[in-house]
Amino acid sequence: MAINFDLNDLQAFRAVAELSNFRKAAESIHLSQPAFSRRIEKLEEALGVRLLDRTTRRVNLTAIGRDFDRKVQQLLDDLDNTLLGIRGVAATRMGEVTIACVPSTVYYFLSQVISQYHERFPKVRVKVFDASANEVLSAVARGEADFGLNFIGSQEPDIEFHSLQEDRFVAACRRDHVLAKKRRVTWAELAEYDFISVSKASGNRLLLDQALAAVPGRPQAIYEAQHVTTMLGLVEAGLGVAAVPAMAMPGADHPLLVSVPLSEPVIMRKVGLIRRKGRSLSPAAQQLYEFFTAMKKKSGGNNKSAA
């Protein structure tokens, strides 16, 4: 039985499946709307099934259409993998990448990389799954995320860990706080002020508890939050001070917050990319992965805030 459709028809279908709108989908692949509609009709006729339910305002996939969409996406990803040596192929069509990450990497690190990636590949949708370190690791291991940004995973047998940088814990406080004038702060000094901590479910909390187990006079939390970003909001509101990864802190031009290196002891975490061993990434995911590694090369793998 001859198959009476081609790659262009599949790309048209993927575009409308992604955008749920014929006009926008036609524009995305530079076709007139009538020509675009003919491609979809040709595909449905060749398969003998209805792939889309059309209304005046929106297009929805049928149950068969949703299943077909998953298979077409995999087929196109496999094709791009074959052609990956030809640079730019991932930018010529739409795609999707899911990256899992710990929240402390989002605002002032991950966001920069995604912004640069979007400028280069504006058609690719990026989904960010921000969760605890263990949840990020599980999402990558189960294939729910293409890859992850984490500080655990280097000891997992089925996970490849690519180190990006060493991230030092710093004291976070307001600019009008007495600690803001110091060049460095000890953990004992930090304990003299109302202390804000992440909850025991946090990977950062586990890391700090282990590192400070034998340190006398360590800070005791007055407030607890689930995420580092919430802690910084409490610090900004003047409720206390916190110990956070330098990567999570805003730049030196922030009007209210400042970071001071913590010592006695100095506590570091190693942040890196995690992915499943023996599994190739889709072209779009591979491109984003390479953006992270390129940023490491530009920065020399060092976090300026942790110096």
pLDDT tens for each residue of 9-34: 888 999 888 888 888 888 888 889 89
Same domain? For 74 and 109 the reply is: no
Q: What pLDDT was estimated at residue 107?
A: 78
One domain, residues 132 and 226 = no
- Per-position b or e across 156-184, b if 16+ CB within 10 A of its CB: eeebbbeebbebbbbbbbbeebebbeeee
Q: In the chain, what is the greatest distance between 2 CA atoms, to the nearest angstrom?
A: 79
Q: Using CB atoms within 10 A of its CB, is residue 155 exposed (0-12), middle (13-18) or buried (19+)?
A: exposed
Q: What is the mean pLDDT of residues 36-59?
A: 87
**Mean pLDDT computed over 136-156:** 93
Mean pLDDT value of segment 206-213: 92
What Rg do the C-alpha atoms of the chain give, in angstroms?
A: 24
CATH (domain of 53): 1.10.10.10
218 found inside a domain: yes
The DSSP secondary structure of 246-268, one letter per residue, reads: GGGS--TT-SSEEEEEEESS--E
Task: Identify whether the C-beta of residue 83 lies closer than 8 Å to the C-beta of residue 93.
Answer: no
Residues 264 and 274 in one domain: no
Residue 285 and residue 153 share a domain: yes
Look at residue 295 in the predicted model and tell me its pLDDT. Answer: 77
176 in the same domain as 157: no
Cα atoms in the 13 Å half-sphere on the side-chain side of 214:
1
Instruction: Say whether pLDDT at 3 is over 70.
Output: no
Higher-confidence residue of 108 and 120: namely: 120
Domain's final residue, options 82, 104, 126:
82
Strands 124-130, 95-101: pairing kind: parallel
Specify whether 265 is located in the same domain as 181.
Answer: yes
Of 26, 49, 82, the residue that ends a domain is 82
Type and span of the H or E element at 209: helix 203-211
Q: Is 189 inside a domain boundary? A: yes
168-to-51, 162, 242, 248, 285 alpha-carbon distances in Å? 52, 18, 14, 10, 28
pTM for the model stands at 0.65
Do 218 and 76 fall within a single domain?
no
Question: What mean pLDDT, rounded, does the chain reach?
Answer: 87
Report for 32-36, 71-75, 175-179: range of highest mean pLDDT:
175-179
Are the beta carbons of 246 and 259 closer than 8 angstroms? yes
Does residue 186 or residue 203 have the better pLDDT? 186
For residue 115, the domain's CATH number is 3.40.190.10
The answer as to whether 178 is a domain residue is yes
Q: Domain limits at 16?
A: 7-82
Rounded Cα–Cα distance for residues 175 and 256 (Å): 6
Q: Does 184 share its domain with 151?
A: no
Query: Among the ranges 55-64, 106-115, 166-175, 292-301, which has the highest mean pLDDT value?
Result: 166-175
Q: Do 159 and 286 fall within a single domain?
A: yes
End-to-end CA distance of the chain: 67
The pLDDT of residue 82: 65
pLDDT-derived band at 305, boundaries 50, 70, 90 = very low
Residue 96 falls inside a structural domain: yes
Does residue 115 share a domain with residue 74?
no
Q: Is 1 within a domain?
A: no
CA gap 109, 247 in Å, rounded: 7
Three-state secondary structure call for residue 138: helix
Which of 18, 47, 82 is a domain's end point? Answer: 82
Predicted confidence at residue 304, as pLDDT, reads 39
**Residue 57: inside a domain:** yes
Q: How many domains does the chain have?
A: 3
Q: Does residue 173 sit in the same domain as residue 260? A: yes
pLDDT band at residue 172 using 50, 70 and 90 as cut-offs: very high
| Alpha-carbon distances, residue 32 vs 4, 27, 57 (angstroms) | 21, 7, 18
Reply yes or no on whether the pLDDT at 216 is more than 60: yes
Question: Lowest mean pLDDT: which of 68-72, 171-175, 187-191?
Answer: 68-72
Whether the predicted pLDDT of 92 surpasses 80: no
- Do 234 and 180 lie in one domain? The reply is yes
Given a contact cutoff of 8 angstroms between Cβ atoms, the answer to whether 150 and 136 are in contact is yes
